Amino acid sequence: MQVQLKNIEVEKSKTTKINEVDFDNLAFGSVYSDHMLVCDYKNGAWETPKIMPYQPIILDPAAKIFHYGQSIFEGMKAYKDTDGKPWLFRPLDNHKRLNISAKRMAIPEIPEETFIEGLTTLLHLEKDWIPTTPGSSLYIRPFVMASGIGFHASPADEYKFIICCAPSGAYFSGKVSVLIEEQYSRSANGGVGYAKAGGNYAGQFYPTQLAIKKGYNQVIWTDDNTHEYIEEAGAMNIFIRINDTLITGPTSDRILDGITRKSILEIAEDEGIKTEVRKISVTEVVTAAKSGKLKEMFGAGTAAVVSPIAAFGYKGVDYDLPELNDDYASLLKKRITDIQYNRTEDKFGWRFKV
Amino acid sequence: MQVQLKNIEVEKSKTTKINEVDFDNLAFGSVYSDHMLVCDYKNGAWETPKIMPYQPIILDPAAKIFHYGQSIFEGMKAYKDTDGKPWLFRPLDNHKRLNISAKRMAIPEIPEETFIEGLTTLLHLEKDWIPTTPGSSLYIRPFVMASGIGFHASPADEYKFIICCAPSGAYFSGKVSVLIEEQYSRSANGGVGYAKAGGNYAGQFYPTQLAIKKGYNQVIWTDDNTHEYIEEAGAMNIFIRINDTLITGPTSDRILDGITRKSILEIAEDEGIKTEVRKISVTEVVTAAKSGKLKEMFGAGTAAVVSPIAAFGYKGVDYDLPELNDDYASLLKKRITDIQYNRTEDKFGWRFKV
Ligand SMILES: Cc1ncc(COP(=O)(O)O)c(C=O)c1O
Ligand SMILES: Cc1ncc(COP(=O)(O)O)c(C=O)c1O
């Protein structure tokens, strides 16, 4: 079936896989919905986006994505409220960030209407795929990759912008313990750390595997020059509570400007929690842990939502975080998810009707 | 046609594209030979490699290569001598480096026999594709990428190791002028700069485009912390001649350990040229340029061979290099290519019969 919806061509799938999915036991990002959006960049312009049945991508072996890692992505979620209505959270910010990443990776920018119309049209089609089990949502993965060919190390002349959807449960299962990294690094000054560029993630796999072997779930990255300042985690920005002050590092060209991070900062201020955005050293965190002033650490990101950290390791020593009854993480998580799932008034104007 | 050659399955192409190729006017890496090698990693092991007609690769949209840039590659050349015999140059070193890259990028290592037998079997089939026009060769691109799927940022469970061949002319056309970078960086301490990881290259595209707009061909990267030390160029290590001493920076976790670089160092020593492997600051280079002591700069790499640099820019000032009659670059280029093309005795044992 070939229908023209606004500026998007839609070819509906003749079958559905939805009955094969156990929506009560979803892993993270491992099953995919029936449709995807594909938009090609050719001859200097983005063509008309097409929504089509989820299907393999066919590329020349010389496509630059395979050789030079020229790719960027976003991570978003669609949430369903108790009336069955789907919602997005600050999607225009994802679009803006995708284009910030695009610029740094020499990828042509995606027009706002292509992104937003493409996304909402796809979600209209896939709304039955948004899970309703508590803590689950439809994870949305927009990405752009170099499909143009050549072994010359230079930007491609063709790209594919694709959106896929994956009904997903929690990113972490159980308590999260982290290793503060002393040797490896995620990003360089003047590098691509602030971009959601594919290569930033593969570079983290090996050090993260080493940390997992030692019994941790995640690495907390530190600056590559001194390893003395806390930067961020694999897919989360990091918040640290010392006494009653909530601290997070400033964004920079090494750190992803997380949408959850900036939302949490606004909610915390709204709650009257004292916040500080400043460099925070490992020494300060360790000293606070030793004196009992370190009350909480948590990660914040679309996939991980607000993920409390139960313990951290540094220089061979493990430090446990206390278990509090009035922790900020639970409060902030409730407030942000209440907005996301349309369980409360949206005083910040973040919710976006699909 | 399905034949079993050693441990490699070979399916020969029924047609050839070789008559469509203008071997006297080859660009770099933009036409591809008739066959390619593909080897899949599944269920924890590399399967039997297959040589097959050059053909598109089919991947799930959730393949991790698209999202997390998990890929590595090598760059090699096959050279044809005047008797029509094909040669490789230090291919075991490329295999070793591929596995160094693999480890850092959490990719399973490629067995030596898969690499060497796969490569030589492919080259036997493609030997008519090795060009003989002076300065041209068959550029060989082995690469490995994550074909396994998932939106969880963790290593894939399936990979493809592929070798493609591209008859190629010179990497640079004309004189090369470079910009010494003051703002952007290629790699971090503790990062992946020493690996031939895809993402390292895409990260260079934007700063390189900015340099090209200013009239340069290439960026010379400096350390990300101070931008005071010369590191390397996009696809070449850098040599600097001050008076009669040839200097190149030490390799580190930020710099690719180039096979051309180490060969040039050995040849230079063999020629009685004084060499130094040490950190070299931009200040030293600029001071030497001003006082007339800076005699030469050149890049060294498989693709670029030995590429003399005619001028460099730094902080808005351009510095021209002198034109010498007895330059090291020409001498060293002649010596290394004489070995590569089997025009001379191979006293170092670098040539490898296909
Ligand atoms: C490296 C990194 N940091 C932080 C975040 C959190 O950003 P956001 O809250 O926009 O999802 C992510 C995930 O998107 C990430 O990949
Ligand atoms: C970043 C970088 N540096 C240096 C080199 C030169 O290395 P080799 O001489 O082994 O080709 C290359 C090319 O392979 C490269 O990509």
What was the pLDDT predicted at A6?
61
For the cut 80, the answer to whether the pLDDT of residue A3 exceeds it is no
ipTM of the complex model:
0.97
Question: Are the beta carbons of A235 and B189 separated by less than 8 Å?
Answer: no
Q: Name the band, by pLDDT with cuts 50, 70 and 90, for residue B93.
A: very high
Q: How far is the CA of B32 from the centre of ligand 2 (A)?
A: 21
Alpha-carbon gap: A64 to the closest alpha carbon of chain B (Å): 9
Please tell me if the CB atom of residue A256 comes closer than 6 angstroms to any atom of ligand 1: yes
Hey, is A37 helix, strand or coil? strand
Could you name the CATH architecture of B9-170?
Answer: 2-Layer Sandwich (3.30)
Q: Which residues of B touch A191 (CB under 8 A)?
A: 184-188, 203, 224
Question: Are the beta carbons of B166 and A104 separated by less than 8 Å?
Answer: no
What is the Cα–Cα distance from A268 to B48, expressed in whole angstroms? 57
Hey, is A268 helix, strand or coil? helix
Q: Looking at chain A, which residue has its C-alpha nearest residue B192?
A: A203
For the cut 80, the answer to whether the pLDDT of residue B36 exceeds it is yes
What is the Cα–Cα distance from B221 to B346, expressed in whole angstroms? 33
Please tell me if the CB atom of residue B49 comes closer than 6 angstroms to any atom of ligand 2: no
Contact of A36 with chain B, judged by CB distance below 8 Å, is answered with: yes
* Predicted TM-score (pTM) of this structure: 0.97
Q: Which residues of A touch B73 (CB under 8 A)?
A: 67
Residues 217-276 of A with CB under 8 A from B: 224-225, 227, 234-235
- Each residue of B139-154: pLDDT tens digit? 999 999 999 999 999 9
Residues 181-200 of B with CB under 8 A from A: 181, 183-192, 197-200
Overall average pLDDT of the A34-63 stretch: 98
- Each residue of A63-113: pLDDT tens digit? 999 999 999 999 999 999 999 999 999 999 999 999 999 999 999 999 999
Quick check: do A9-170 and A176-340 share a fold? Answer: no
- Each residue of A311-332: pLDDT tens digit? 999 999 999 999 999 999 999 9
- Each residue of A242-277: pLDDT tens digit? 999 999 999 999 999 999 999 999 999 999 999 999
| Count of Cβ atoms closer than 10 Å to residue A11 Cβ | 13
Looking at the domain that runs over B176-340, which CATH code has it been given? 3.20.10.10
The set of residues, in sequence order, having a beta carbon less than 8 Å from that of A70 and lying 6+ positions away, is A64, A105, A106, A107, A145, A146, A155, A156, B198, B201, B202, B205
What was the pLDDT predicted at A173?
80
- Each residue of B317-335: pLDDT tens digit? 999 999 999 999 999 999 9
For the cut 60, the answer to whether the pLDDT of residue B4 exceeds it is no
What was the pLDDT predicted at B92?
98
What was the pLDDT predicted at A37?
98
The set of residues, in sequence order, having a beta carbon less than 8 Å from that of A232 and lying 6+ positions away, is A186, A220, A221, A238, A249, A255, A256, A258
Please tell me if the CB atom of residue A198 comes closer than 6 angstroms to any atom of ligand 1: no
- From atom 6 of ligand 2, which residue's Cα is the shortest distance away? B301
What is the Cα–Cα distance from A151 to A158, expressed in whole angstroms? 14
For the cut 70, the answer to whether the pLDDT of residue B174 exceeds it is yes
Nearest Cα residue to A127 out of A56, A54, A53, A35: A35
The structural domains of chain B, with segments of one domain joined by +, span: 9-170, 176-340
Inter-residue contact A46 to A111 (CB < 8 Å): yes
